[in-house]
Structure 1
């Protein structure tokens, strides 16, 4: 009997539609969709949006396990004092809690950001060799600029530009090896050095904790800043890291991102345009609150 494929996402109620698109792209790209278990670590979800997500089970038979995070002491205590920002709310750190949250019998999980699109059978990534390391990831295409910042010198006391640096949007996690580590103690040690405010959120944090403890995976499993030229290279997972996103109304016309039209049909037209109205309403509400 084939083993289950365990996949985790973290998001809030404003990203429910992209989360749905990630899951649906995974299910459309594999014949083992009925063996997939999605772990959804989320902030409060409306009943309507939760029902949208449940359609993954109805269409493909994949299992969904919801982990609400708001008000949970283990989550609030963990994120207290960690840097946060408008584009990076505290839910981004939830991926670091997977070893304790997921059932002990789950030995491996793939974590994916919600601004992604999967085009290859996810089992190929799930079964990839991590060479005995607790973590597999793809080198960030913008390193060393991201860790070292302005003029690639700002954080030279923390990072060496010659060291490999990974993007945290896709992680293959050996949970048994992660469980042998004390991530809380690692974070506390970094906090005592007074450097948390200097870090690029979870990504810098993970790169410091797992320095020399991660396996570099082929670029196609996290194609960063996915744009039209990448379509010719047969990427397995597209990662839309730039401001232009495939859920933008004109993305397919302007061809500002890779597979924009493909993405709209993965999300489904009905949800795509409902998500557009949701974002437009939020935009206006923000502007009105400022006046």
Structure 2
């Protein structure tokens, strides 16, 4: 039995359903137990998810997490759903007989066999994840980790629960958050990268192919990331993704009008196998700046687009520094 953990509030359970369908469809021979960390999801929607899991002969367990803000002990920015912080507390939320779990965000779909992912040997590492492709040294400075420390994306994580419990990781996460006044760059992802520094297992890139992985050439990502995957490994991973992570950015997201992501149709195909198949796409309310980013990416030569993005990045960092 393989244990998969997802957190959601009432706004995103349709994405959870699509994600779960894709998991079962692409891994039909695997016995799967879905653990949903539920932040106020209604009973009706939970029933819909249960029907899906039972259709594929899987198991579903539900854990209420409405007390997340109390667990954090400090206010956090409203720029991200507080539900995202739930992954920090899986050691105490989930049953003690669970040792290792796969934690996933709900904005992903599965696209292939993930047997090797479940079988990952973490040794003495505190977490396993895929390197985030567009992380500059500035982001590492923000969370005070060395420039040569790997920075992983928290959307797909292998978590050794027993190790988290024995090393009191939950308290360490909260202590780090409090020490930073509740404001950590990249929120819970930044916390995990900082607190687990020196003990991260780097997973193959195909297990979390983010939108930026598909937008930017390998040589550009390699320049700004230390460490990073070699060219052959990276290109092989993104050409045959086992997990596709719709992280927005240039392409947009497939549940929103105007998405140009190359795997958007795959998402919509899985959507047709859920009770949410007829719900319309959400209107595109992205900012003018984000809309311009996508437009320029499609129209400009990459070198000119890159210069534009660099100017936006430096302007943003300058404003951030002034506020601090």
TM range (shorter): 0.7 to 0.9
Against the structure 1 CA distance between its residues 215 and 120, is the aligned structure 2 distance closer, same or farther, given a 3 Å change threshold?
same
Cross-structure match for 2:156: 170
Cross-structure match for 1:239: 245
Cross-structure match for 2:21: 24
**What is the rounded CA distance, in whole Å, between the counterparts of 1:139 and 1:232 in structure 2?**
13
Deviation at 1:84, TM superposition (A): 3.0
Q: Does 1:211 align with 2:219?
A: no
Look up the SS of the partner of 1:197 in the other structure. Answer: coil
Higher alpha-carbon deviation: 183-192 or 36-45: 183-192
Look up the SS of the partner of 2:190 in the other structure. Answer: helix
What 5-or-longer segments of structure 2 have no aligned partner? 217-234, 286-324
Cross-structure match for 1:53: 49
Q: Could you tell me the TM-score, scaled by structure 2's length?
A: 0.73
Against the structure 1 CA distance between its residues 275 and 134, is the aligned structure 2 distance closer, same or farther, given a 3 Å change threshold?
farther
Look up the SS of the partner of 1:271 in the other structure. Answer: coil
**What is the rounded CA distance, in whole Å, between the counterparts of 1:52 and 1:21 in structure 2?**
11
CA contact under 8 A between 2:177 and 2:184: conserved in structure 1?
Answer: no
Cross-structure match for 1:63: 59
Query: 4+ runs of 1 displaced by more than 6 Å?
Result: 228-232
Against the structure 1 CA distance between its residues 27 and 145, is the aligned structure 2 distance closer, same or farther, given a 3 Å change threshold?
farther
Against the structure 1 CA distance between its residues 193 and 67, is the aligned structure 2 distance closer, same or farther, given a 3 Å change threshold?
closer
CA contact under 8 A between 2:100 and 2:158: conserved in structure 1?
Answer: yes
Deviation at 1:111, TM superposition (A): 0.2
CA contact under 8 A between 1:26 and 1:122: conserved in structure 2?
Answer: no
Aligned residues: 262
RMSD (Å), alpha carbons: 2.6
Q: Could you tell me the TM-score, scaled by structure 1's length?
A: 0.81
Against the structure 1 CA distance between its residues 197 and 217, is the aligned structure 2 distance closer, same or farther, given a 3 Å change threshold?
same
Deviation at 1:245, TM superposition (A): 0.7
Cross-structure match for 2:84: 92
Against the structure 1 CA distance between its residues 185 and 69, is the aligned structure 2 distance closer, same or farther, given a 3 Å change threshold?
closer
CA contact under 8 A between 1:147 and 1:159: conserved in structure 2?
Answer: no
Against the structure 1 CA distance between its residues 31 and 188, is the aligned structure 2 distance closer, same or farther, given a 3 Å change threshold?
closer
Deviation at 1:227, TM superposition (A): 4.7
Against the structure 1 CA distance between its residues 187 and 178, is the aligned structure 2 distance closer, same or farther, given a 3 Å change threshold?
closer
Q: Does 1:274 align with 2:279?
A: yes
